[in-house]
Structure 1
Amino acid sequence: MSLALKLALAPLLVAQAVATRRRAPALPEADGSREGRVGEGDRLALLIVGDSSAAGVGVATQDEALAGHLPRTLAREAGRRVHWQLVAKSGITTAQALELVRQVRPVPADIAVAVLGVNDVIDQVSPARAVQQRAALADWLRHAAGVRHVVFAPLPPVHRFPLLPQPLRRVMGADARAHDEAMARWASTRDDVSHVPIALDLGPEHMAADGFHPGEPVYRATGEALARFIAARLMNPTETRS
Structure 2
Amino acid sequence: MPPPLPFSLARMLLAPLLLWQGRQVRRRTVRLPEAAGARLGLAGIGQGGSAMPRLRLLIVGDSSGAGVGAATQDEALAGRLGQALARLLHAPVAWQLVAQSGWTTPQATEALATLAGQGRLPPADVLVTALGVNDAIAMTSPARWLRQLDALERQARELAGVRHLVLTAVPPLEHAAGLPQPLRAMLGRSARRLDDGLRQWAAGSGARLHVEPPFDPATERAAELLAADGFHPGPALYRRWAEALAAQIAADWPVTPALDQPAVAAGAGVTGAGVTGGSGRGRPSRSIAT
Give the TM-score category using the shorter length. Answer: over 0.9
2:241 is equivalent to residue 222 of structure 1: yes
2:129 is equivalent to residue 114 of structure 1: yes
Please state how far the C-alpha of 1:236 moved relative to its aligned partner: 5.0
2:106 is equivalent to residue 72 of structure 1: no
User: Over residues 139-177 of structure 1, what are the superposed CA-to-partner deviations in whole Å (9 max), with x where a residue is unaligned?
Assistant: 111122011111111111211112211111111111101
Which amino acid letter does the alignment assign opposite residue 161 of structure 2? G
2:42 is equivalent to residue 43 of structure 1: no
Match of 2:158 in 1: 143
Please state how far the C-alpha of 1:54 moved relative to its aligned partner: 0.7
Matches of 2:75 and 2:38, distance apart in 1: 12
23-32 vs 230-239, which moves further: 230-239
Match of 1:26 in 2: 31
Which amino acid letter does the alignment assign opposite residue 232 of structure 1? A
Aligned-pair identity (%): 48
Which amino acid letter does the alignment assign opposite residue 40 of structure 2? E
Matches of 2:127 and 2:223, distance apart in 1: 30
* More helix by percentage: 1
TM-score, with structure 1 as normaliser: 0.94
2:257 counterpart SS class: helix
TM-score, with structure 2 as normaliser: 0.79
2:140 is equivalent to residue 125 of structure 1: yes
Match of 2:213 in 1: 198
Which amino acid letter does the alignment assign opposite residue 92 of structure 2? R
- Could you say what the CA RMSD is over the residues aligned between the two structures, in angstroms? 1.6
Cα contact 2:137–2:190 (8 A) shared by 1:
no
Which amino acid letter does the alignment assign opposite residue 15 of structure 2? A
Q: Runs of 5+ in structure 2 lacking a partner?
A: 260-276, 279-290
Cα contact 1:65–1:219 (8 A) shared by 2:
yes
User: Over residues 26-73 of structure 1, what are the superposed CA-to-partner deviations in whole Å (9 max), with x where a residue is unaligned?
Assistant: 211100111111122562111111111110011111111001211111
Matches of 1:220 and 1:76, distance apart in 2: 14
Matches of 1:175 and 1:219, distance apart in 2: 24
Matches of 2:97 and 2:41, distance apart in 1: 9
Match of 1:62 in 2: 73
Q: Runs of 5+ in structure 1 lacking a partner?
A: none
Cα contact 1:138–1:193 (8 A) shared by 2:
no
Number of residue pairs matched? 242
